[in-house]
A and B are shown apart, each in its own frame.
Chain A
């Protein structure tokens, strides 16, 4: 069984500061990992995904994430936060054995202060 834990349901940063959103996973098979963003009253949009190629994955809007197998982590970072980054962020894991269903973490709400 797979699971995803996002440490910190709320993260607050100042505009221009580093963004770090944490994600740890548990999977019995090699995982495929995703970060999605949800803006208020909208659906989920893919930020980036890890598919066992490069361990450092670059996504949209300046976000990137690094897959660390030894730490079972896939933390999301952005060097400089922008007000428009304020949203809910979800980490998810998928595997071939489960019909490609996504198992999501509990989400992290990112707040950006001016």
Chain B
């Protein structure tokens, strides 16, 4: 059983297009995250949602809009794609129990290529 799944795995698109990446977790967690990994493998948090509420927004351009329809899903919509958006996007989930020790479980990643 897949714990954290993302679709699609690969996404190739033209500059200026709008695209979405979907994430689902079946772990019963209440918190979900989006991370961006650039071409140099550097990983950075983008957003975090707890019980469908945004709790972290790390100065990401407003072309990026996360949406959490329920606790098990966190989708990422990107408008007007730019070359610099090319990266691997990882979804993760955890339980926010008021402690920072809970493990975050990561999805397999979505490799976005903007041409």
Contact = CB atoms under 8 A, between A and B. Distances in A.
A100 B100 contact: yes
B109 interface: yes
Contacts of B103: 34, 46, 49
Given A32-B100, A99-B55, A100-B94, A88 B106 contact: no
B109 A42 contact: yes
Q: How large is the interface on B (under 10, 10 to 19, 20 to 34, 35 or more residues)?
A: 20 to 34
Given A46-B105, A100-B102, A101-B58, 8 more contacts: A52-B101, A96-B100, A100-B99, A100-B100, A100-B104, A106-B41, A106-B42, A107-B41
A104 B94 contact: no
B42 A96 contact: no
B48 A43 contact: no
Interface string B33-54: 1010000111111001010000
Contacts, number: 69
A89 to B, nearest CB: 10
A100 to B, nearest CB: 5
Given A43-B90, A49-B103, A100 B96 contact: yes
A23 to B, nearest CB: 14
A108 B40 CA distance: 11
